[in-house]
Structure 1
Amino acid sequence: MLAFVLVSGSLWILLELSSTLMEKMQAQEMLSGLRVPDMDDLGRFFSSLPTSTLVGIGALAAVLAYWLATRPRPIKPPCSLLHQSEEVPHEGGGRRSMMCDHSKLLTHYHDDARTMYEVFQRGLHISGDGPCLGSRLPNQPYKWMSYKEVTSRAEHLGSGLLYQGCKASPDQFIGVFAQNRPEWIISELACYTYSMVVVPLYDTLGPDAIRFIINTADISTVICDKVEKAQVLLANVERAETPALRRIVLMDVLDSALVERGHGCGVHVQAMQEVEALGRDYHRKPLPPSPDDLSIVCFTSGTTGNPKGVMLTHGNVVADFSGFLKVTDKVIFPNQDDCLISFLPLAHMFERLIEIFSQANSPLKRCLLNFAAKRKGAEVSSGIIRSNSVWDKIFFSKIQASLGGRLRMIITGAAPTSPTVLGFLRAALGCQVYEAYGQTECTAGCTFTTPGDWTPGHVGAPLPCNLIKLVDVPEKNYFAAKGEGEVCVKGPNVFMGYLKDPERTAETLDPDGWLHTGDIGKWLPNGTLKIVDRKKHIFKLAQGEYISPEKIENIYIRSEPVAQLYVHGDSLQSCLVGIVVPDTEVMPMWAKKKGILGTYKDLCKNTELKKAILEDLVRLGKASSLHSFEQVKNIYIHSEMFSIENGLLTPTLKAKRPELREFFKEKIEQLYSAISM
């Protein structure tokens, strides 16, 4: 239609114009009885227009057509964002993802990738021996190993371990004591290639925990990265605290003194290259595992007592990441050009991003930055995620470049992210930022943000690999009938149990296979989950560390001038703060010894006294081996005792933590603000 006046292929705009003209002429006909014009009439009408008018119409049409073709479009959600999960019959209120195959939960994504060994082999096949593991020194380019190089090194390392007495069996546990580096992955793959089990060791757990893990898992071989860690392991053997340890394989350059020290206590210390060389000479054909075989034992730090060894099968791990793939496969399916960057803890990365904006050092810059963030935030709210807007070019390109400039996806977990931070990241990074929730016992995640749902304040819907239900917690007034209760998870991603700990396994994993997380959740109307509380007085800090405040309070209460105290932290903060009530009789005398004088009321406001008490608390914490993240970083001195009368203590004189948190809400905010200044 109207082909004689089409310019730049803009058919739609001229059809709109002709439609409008037709409507107007039809209206005139109704009023005056005139004949409705046909297409010849319209043709003559446009032919009568001046050339300049036609050119203007054509130019406008071309601009509008270009805008329509290139305008940003929102991500198309894989399901209705108003209905992201549904209740499953006969599962006691359990809910499943709307992306689930309704006949069963997802166990794997690809038929030829049901174990971690098969997953790697699939990567080798698809990549055509492309780059696999990359690492770099500061300010240096990445150096890459290909899939075949990694496979070869893993087979050689595994063969070398077998030659020296290790078994190709899920009963063979190999410790890995190292930071993230390519050799970590090679060691892990070596274990999977020969059906052995990886047991990560973390120095953040402390020396007692490392000894406990080695003894509990009967670890005779540990692969570690640095000489210093090898020395820690040898010291344990010398003190007869880890009698099973017989071999240390070192990733870094071998120290001859270390070899001699190991020889003196019956431990064979050798270089990783030496073990791989043995494996080349005495190569063994791979003996891969089955999906039901144990793949890894991850010891969690816990809050009290010894760490718990979470036993995860190959099937557990494959099911969990298959759930992530299923949720995102329509919007951002990984391809062979993608790189995965291990950036832990992410709290440090968020801090670095914020630091980039300390450059907004004038009111005008801050005003423009806030405006840009709001405009990008408005796009995110409408479902549009992009990095090519004018605001990106002016303000956010530096942040995006600091992460390589090709970022497509970020997944954050471990602890809930502040809605403000999450919104800013989605706007500034110009990529899809997803939030996941879960714990080691369900492999990693059990909920995940649905693509297209960029609203903060929840942790998404259940993954397609698991069900989630809420159960009553009457002592805290949470009831499943109201859509609130303890979060429980069931599915192929749920762990086998705790290593050699049937009692704690029974406390966490019920007879019907439901994992009881200890977190309190709430179903939102759209089928997403919100985490609102903990069943016990345990919480996570922003970097993912669990905290037991009572344990810390029981240590700090030994401080001479302290009568009462309340330790506070939450999942949006990376440190602890405290409320301290001094002893009315002891504190003034204690202060006088330190040269600080005044009445009790005056001393409670004295900054020198506050500093002295804080130092004493930290001293006690160090003496009791508290970790750095378990120490309070700021305190407020309160002059009135917690009591039954003011509602801060129970009739049995126990602290009412929710009431204390609410009562001191303003002071707590001030304490955190002072830390960040």
Structure 2
Amino acid sequence: MFLPIDQISFIIHLFDSDGSRVAAFLENDELKQYLFDDVRTICEAVQRGLRVSNNGPMLGQRKQQSNGTTPFVWMTYKEVIDRSFDLTAGLSELGVKPGQETFIAIYAKNRPEWIISELATYNNRNIVVSLYDTLGTDARSFIIHQASIEIVICDEEKKAYGLVEEKSRNPSLKHLILLDSFGDDLKEKAAKEGISVHRFDDVLTMGRQIDKSHFEPPKPEDLCTLCYTSGTTGIPKGVMLTHGNVIATTTIFQNCSDIDMGPSDVMLSYLPLAHMYERMMECHMYTMGVKVGFFSGNIRKIIEDMKELKPTIVPLVPRMLTRIYEKASTIINSSYLKKMIFNLSIAYKSYKLRRGIVCNDSLIDSLVFKRLQEEMGGRVRFMTIGSAPISGDVLNFARATLGAVIVESYVCIPADMSTDQVGIPSPCNAIKLIDVPELGYFTKDGVGEICIRGYNVFKGYYKDDEKTKEVLDPDGWLHSGDIGRWTEKGTLKIIDRKKHIFKLQQGEYIAPEKIETIYGQSKYVRNVFVYGESLKTCIIAIIVPEEEVLRSTISEQQLQLNDVTFEELCANETIKKLIFNDIIEIGKKGGLNSMELVKDIYLSPEIFTIDNGLMTPTMKCRRPNIKKYFEQQLKQMYSKL
């Protein structure tokens, strides 16, 4: 594939006297609302997919066969649409009223029924409330109560029991529709609380014979979803998004016009559908008639799923690429010859990338990178990265080894293979920078907080005008909290983060996420949490080491620790010094000043995960939870400084 790198020279255009900018290819500087005249809502996106794919496969899921294999089994576009209308009719029989006053919650892992339930909700202008798979009790009850939810569609019996037990906190709840099997005990307990429990297939059957001509399709200005924040900090906030917002967001793919997508493509779905990044991606896939295959539900089997699915399109979070990079680095560094061959191959592929040539079928690919490519199914050609920053080294490594176009989803230009920026304004957006005096960023110097206005900007937080006013100003500008700089080429570079900043005793502002991104480049670091207090003069960190890399180093350096448990390694002073010195060196190379270098670290064997509440479903640190979890260790570190 050849990407025309000369398009970089005309990618932005000064839009207004306030310094806002738009993509230069826009006609008369008019922001785009949609890519196709006949696609203004999510329902219309799926209808277009039905047409352009000629009723091809739409949703796939692995299913056990009699011979023991678990291939992907597919439903066509028409089958999905028909089932969604059957479900809409079945919901009507349960008393669901049409219109914008009705909220239906979906509480499940990614699977075909998630999409069928979503479309069924839209068919009658109802609104989806997406619940994260690992929401805590308080957050879950808050959401159900705030949105007055009467119906929850969930996958597991265990979740349903939790909802029944919380009925006193959620008086509006009337119906639970389960995707998986359940016992009579659940029905009996639910009935005592005034809740009816139904099998998903039974509701479909109920609606199959009912007339559907009276259904009212959604309008572009209708709300399609309340997407609650994952609770990184504080109480979840319900982000109000319209069909028009979601469709406008898909115009970012106009920046990727050189990447043709169609019915021959397959996308892997594993990022939570409760997160809008995944749902926006899938909406565009359906618009283009693409097939979407769902992972098996176990993130540890994601490689197996990819080998079976052989996807061509993969949305992901940076951590997945970073883990691949770290694992490959460990193998390569085990031999001088391997390292030399690999680095020369990376250099050659990087040279080709700078010339706009993206490929995975060269001689070098077949000799050096084929095994790595086959780990992801062997056909990946387009990847998007969202939710967090990614190291330039990791991004360059992935582009070279996988031979795929990889863009960051903030904004994107496939043809620009540099790794130090996130692209240009999307066709639906104008972007401007504003002063952040408390951090010393001023627009006169070409830097400031990134503000976004356009057709994809959300309408506000549900029932929370105060929080809405904190991020949406009267002129419709969304204040992102990201600090950016326009590069000489006109692309946008994120250099800092306004949110989560804290001030040390001497008045120095610290942006922990920026520091964590840099320390995360250490091969020894799996998770990192940087912490500071306003009454302290320095910062400290909790680090979860990469055990495999650590043991490899122990063997190479003959540290006599081969038979020691991981917990004992984390408590070992030699290991602590090894990792501390490495992150300090990386921090200095990464441009951190002396106040941004940690003065002490605590090594924890406890990995930050969604299940233990230390990570959000979008793989961000739950900062309040981590602070509480390691409260004693943080106190001990500061007491010694």
Q: TM-score, normalised by structure 2?
A: 0.73
Distance 1:606 1:474, change over 3 A: closer
For 2:119, the equivalent position in structure 1 comes to: 189
Q: Name stretches of at least 5 consecutive residues in structure 1 with no aligned partner.
A: 1-72, 438-446, 558-562, 574-603, 608-612, 643-677
Question: Where do residues 120-159 of structure 1 align in structure 2 (5 Å cutoff)?
Answer: 120-137=46-63, 140-159=70-89
Distance 1:129 1:80, change over 3 A: closer
Output the CA distance in 2 between the equivalents of 1:362 and 1:548.
32
Q: Partner letter of residue 364 of structure 1?
A: L
For 1:409, the equivalent position in structure 2 comes to: 382
Q: Name stretches of at least 5 consecutive residues in structure 2 with no aligned partner.
A: 272-315, 502-511, 521-526, 547-575, 580-600
RMSD, aligned α-carbons: 3.6
Deviation (angstroms), 1:641: 7.8
Q: SS state of the match for residue 93, structure 1?
A: coil
For 1:293, the equivalent position in structure 2 comes to: 222
Q: SS state of the match for residue 144, structure 2?
A: helix
Output the CA distance in 2 between the equivalents of 1:177 and 1:565.
42
* Between 491-500 and 387-396, the greater mean CA deviation after superposition: 387-396
Deviation (angstroms), 1:282: 2.2
For 1:334, the equivalent position in structure 2 comes to: 261
Output the CA distance in 1 between the equivalents of 2:396 and 2:169.
49
Question: Where do residues 483-632 of structure 1 align in structure 2 (5 Å cutoff)?
Answer: 483-538=446-501, 566-568=539-541, 629-630=621-622, 631=626
Kept in 2, the 8 Å contact 1:343–1:349? The answer is no
Q: Partner letter of residue 128 of structure 1?
A: N
Output the CA distance in 2 between the equivalents of 1:158 and 1:349.
39
Output the CA distance in 2 between the equivalents of 1:625 and 1:75.
42
Q: SS state of the match for residue 152, structure 2?
A: strand
Deviation (angstroms), 1:145: 0.3
Kept in 2, the 8 Å contact 1:113–1:119? The answer is yes
Kept in 2, the 8 Å contact 1:295–1:313? The answer is yes
Structure showing greater radius of gyration is 1
For 1:282, the equivalent position in structure 2 comes to: 210
Q: Partner letter of residue 196 of structure 2?
A: H
For 1:471, the equivalent position in structure 2 comes to: 434
Distance 1:339 1:220, change over 3 A: same
Question: Where do residues 2-151 of structure 1 align in structure 2 (5 Å cutoff)?
Answer: 74-77=2-5, 80-90=7-17, 92-137=18-63, 140-151=70-81
Output the CA distance in 1 between the equivalents of 2:13 and 2:259.
24
Kept in 2, the 8 Å contact 1:160–1:275? The answer is yes
Distance 1:143 1:129, change over 3 A: same
- Is 1:355 aligned to residue 327 of structure 2? yes
Give 2:188's match in structure 1, choosing from 260, 263, 267: 260
Distance 1:462 1:429, change over 3 A: same
Kept in 2, the 8 Å contact 1:163–1:282? The answer is no
Output the CA distance in 2 between the equivalents of 1:402 and 1:471.
44
Kept in 1, the 8 Å contact 2:529–2:542? The answer is no
Deviation (angstroms), 1:175: 0.4
Give 1:453's match in structure 2, choosing from 405, 413, 416: 416
Output the CA distance in 2 between the equivalents of 1:255 and 1:497.
41
Q: Partner letter of residue 245 of structure 1?
A: L
Deviation (angstroms), 1:343: 3.5
Q: Partner letter of residue 362 of structure 2?
A: S
Kept in 1, the 8 Å contact 2:360–2:404? The answer is yes
Deviation (angstroms), 1:135: 1.2
Output the CA distance in 2 between the equivalents of 1:395 and 1:526.
34
Distance 1:351 1:242, change over 3 A: same
Q: SS state of the match for residue 226, structure 2?
A: strand
Output the CA distance in 2 between the equivalents of 1:569 and 1:102.
51
Output the CA distance in 2 between the equivalents of 1:222 and 1:626.
26
- Is 1:162 aligned to residue 92 of structure 2? yes
Output the CA distance in 2 between the equivalents of 1:213 and 1:553.
31
Note the alpha carbon deviations across 1:302-332, whole angstroms, 9 max, x for none: 44321111000000000010x2221112x11
Give 1:427's match in structure 2, choosing from 400, 425, 436: 400
Q: TM-score, normalised by structure 1?
A: 0.69
Output the CA distance in 1 between the equivalents of 2:105 and 2:141.
12
Give 1:482's match in structure 2, choosing from 417, 436, 445: 445
Q: Partner letter of residue 224 of structure 2?
A: S
Deviation (angstroms), 1:165: 0.8
Kept in 2, the 8 Å contact 1:537–1:549? The answer is no
Q: Higher RCO, 1 or 2 (CA under 8 Å, sep at least 6)? A: 2
Distance 1:521 1:120, change over 3 A: same
Note the alpha carbon deviations across 1:536-583, whole angstroms, 9 max, x for none: 33565779xx99977x969xx9xxxxx88735599xx9xxxxxxxxxx
Kept in 2, the 8 Å contact 1:106–1:319? The answer is yes
For 1:343, the equivalent position in structure 2 comes to: 270
- Is 1:375 aligned to residue 301 of structure 2? no
Q: Partner letter of residue 317 of structure 1?
A: V
* Between 150-159 and 80-89, the greater mean CA deviation after superposition: 80-89
Note the alpha carbon deviations across 1:465-505, whole angstroms, 9 max, x for none: 10000011111111112111111000000001000001111
Q: Partner letter of residue 462 of structure 2?
A: L
